[in-house]
Amino acid sequence: MKPAGTDRPCGGCGVGTLRPTNVAGMVMGHRDDPRVRIREDLILPVCGVCGDMALNRENTGALDDALERSYRRKRLRQQRALINDLRRAGLTQVQIERFATLSPGYVSKLRKGKLASGATFRLLYLLRAFPREALRVVSRLDPELAEAGSKLDSLAGTG
C-alpha cells in the first residue's frame, strides 16, 4: 500500500485524481449550519475534476476540528448579534429568557461565549425576525410575555 494522502484516482468520478489541496475558504455543512467556511489552512485529498474528497481517519478529524472552530466562531458572532438586536429593540434579558424557556442568566452566558443549542438559536432568530408576532403568539402560552409584546407595540407606534 502507498501511504494515504498521496495522489490516487478519484473513486467519486472515476476520471480525476485526488491530490493534496488546501481547502481553506471551502464552504461545507456542519451540524445544523449548511454553510460553514473553513477559515484556516488545511490540506486534504481533493479531486481536480469533481471536487470530491476521500478522507482517512486523520483527514476526517482535521476537517471536523476546522469546521467546528469555524462553526463556533460564526455561531457565537450570530447569537451575540441576535441578543444585542433584541436588547436594542427593547426586550429585557429576562423576557428573552422567558420567550425561549431558558434558565435565568442563560442569555448572559450566551453573550459571554456559551454556544446556544440549535433549537435555542432558531427561537432567538425567529424572535428577532418577527418580534411582535412571536411575542403575541407565545404570550398565549405565557401571559407574562404579553407585557413585552405591548411594549414593542408602543415603541413601534412612537417610532
Partner 1 sequence: MPLPLGRSVPGPAVDLAQFQAQVRAGNFHVYVTRALTCIQRLRECRPREAREYARRAVLSLQEGDYAHTVKMPDGQLMDVYGKVIEEDGWYLKIEISMHDGQPGIVSCHPAAHDLATRSGVVRASTRRFQ
Interface ranges with partner 1 (CB under 8 A): 1-2, 4, 6, 8-9, 11-15, 28-32, 34, 49-57, 59-61, 63-64, 67-68, 118
- What is the closest distance, in whole angstroms, from the C-beta atom of residue 1 to partner 1 in the complex? 5
Looking up cell 408576532 gives: 133
Q: Which is nearer to partner 1, 64 or 142 (CB)?
A: 64
Cβ 106 vs Cβ 82: under 8 Å: no
Q: Which is nearer to partner 1, 37 or 111 (CB)?
A: 37
Taking the CA atoms of 6, 9, 13 and 19 in sequence, report the sign of the dihedral they define: positive
- What is the closest distance, in whole angstroms, from the C-beta atom of residue 137 to partner 1 in the complex? 26
- What is the closest distance, in whole angstroms, from the C-beta atom of residue 40 to partner 1 in the complex? 15
In the DSSP assignment, the letter for residue 85 is H
Helix axes 118-129, 57-88, angle to 10 degrees: 30
Residues forming a β-bridge with 43: 22
- What is the closest distance, in whole angstroms, from the C-beta atom of residue 7 to partner 1 in the complex? 8
Q: Which is nearer to partner 1, 61 or 105 (CB)?
A: 61
Helix axes 146-158, 131-138, angle to 10 degrees: 150
Q: Which is nearer to partner 1, 9 or 104 (CB)?
A: 9
